[in-house]
Amino acid sequence: MKTALVGIGKIAVDQHVPAIADSAEWELAATVSRHGSVDGVEAFTDMGKMLQARPDIRVVSLCLPPVPRFAYAMQALEAGRHVMLEKPPGATLAECHALDAAARAAGLTLYATWHSRHADMVGAAKSWLSDKMLRALRVTWKEDVRRWHPGQAWIWEPGGLGVFDPGINALSIVTEILPAQIHVTGATLEVPSNCQTPIAAEIAFHHPDGADVSAVFDWRQQGDQTWEIEAVTDSGTLTLRDGGAVMEVDGTVSGQAAPLGGEYPRLYAQMAQLVTTGGIDMDLRPLTLVTDALALGRRVATDPFED
């Protein structure tokens, strides 16, 4: 299937382009971007002109920041194209629900991707936890924003999510592996004095069986990066590390440290299946937890951020 990639930034170049190139199911037929392009691929700077010029392109994959994404996604759906959304699927839950309704009305596929759910050991962790009684779960997601998001000013503006941009990856794993549903009960958000979104957050969650569930996100981590989820159960302790690439259960380690390894090829394989079967996958639980944390969070001013 031919796809157009919209928004040629770091994540598109690092992950989407190689995943499409290595897939037997996909052909990158066009790009839409004001500044970026891919060698050998027809490039457009206007979404409408691409849709008009390339009716042969069935799928549009959106890698734009969250705030402008809704308009582009709706434009693609109205043109009869299937749509794949980079995480988070939108800036608000309301616009995500609107896209879902539009896709269903048109009989089109819409896929809210959560790449971290496709890390190597997430499925194994879900299986291991399926019959365990959870007593505590602790998420520690700490990375260096300057290393992973250099010069991306949009993340500090309203709708940019701040530290929840990576933190939502952790929440996408948690909502996938836990048998029970959780919800936010409180949060503390550290917001730089010159920004609109948090650089760090601590969150508490309600678990229906009384387990102690919490998360710490921080974008100021230097040196080793930490992407870890620890689940303490009645039958032992499971730890997912390196964003879900490595799993340890009571000293037994499975997997290899390879953050993002294999995740995006699996997203495109899933999208191909959804298009073939006419499916829609719009799981909004991770975004719901983030928006609830932003709604309930107590904001604490911290030092200005300088990129």
Could you give the CA distance from residue 153 to residue 164 in angstroms, rounded to a whole number?
Answer: 15
Mean pLDDT over each residue of the chain, to the nearest integer: 96
Q: What is the pLDDT of residues 38-81, one digit of tens each?
A: 999 999 999 999 999 999 999 999 999 999 999 999 999 999 99
Residue 264 lies in a domain: no
Contact (Cβ atoms closer than 8 angstroms) between residue 298 and residue 184: no
Residue 297 lies in a domain: yes
Instruction: Determine which one of 87, 126, 132, 142 is catalytic.
Output: 87
Q: Which residue, of 68, 90, 112, is where some domain finishes?
A: 112
Residue 95 lies in a domain: yes
| Global pTM value | 0.95
Q: Which residue, of 95, 112, 129, is where some domain finishes?
A: 112
Q: Based on the fold, state whether residues 174 and 64 are members of the same structural domain.
A: no
The CATH number of the domain holding residue 177 is: 3.30.360.10
Q: Based on the fold, state whether residues 133 and 174 are members of the same structural domain.
A: yes
Query: How many domains does the chain contain in total?
Result: 2
Residue 307 lies in a domain: no
Q: Based on the fold, state whether residues 124 and 219 are members of the same structural domain.
A: yes
The CATH number of the domain holding residue 17 is: 3.40.50.720
Q: Based on the fold, state whether residues 78 and 192 are members of the same structural domain.
A: no
* Banded model confidence at residue 230, pLDDT cuts 50, 70, 90: very high
- Clarify whether 87 is annotated catalytic: yes
Q: What is the pLDDT of residues 232-282, one digit of tens each?
A: 999 999 999 999 999 999 888 888 766 666 899 999 999 999 999 999 999
Amino acid 255: pLDDT: 82
Q: Based on the fold, state whether residues 167 and 298 are members of the same structural domain.
A: yes
How many CA atoms are closer than 13 Å to the CA of 132, on its beta-carbon side? 21
Residue 94 lies in a domain: yes
Q: Based on the fold, state whether residues 203 and 222 are members of the same structural domain.
A: yes
User: Which among 246, 286, 236, 241 has a CA at the least distance from the CA of 112?
Assistant: 286
Contact (Cβ atoms closer than 8 angstroms) between residue 121 and residue 95: no
Q: Based on the fold, state whether residues 157 and 86 are members of the same structural domain.
A: no
Q: Based on the fold, state whether residues 86 and 141 are members of the same structural domain.
A: no
Q: Based on the fold, state whether residues 232 and 296 are members of the same structural domain.
A: yes
Q: Which domain holds residue 204?
A: 118-256+291-302
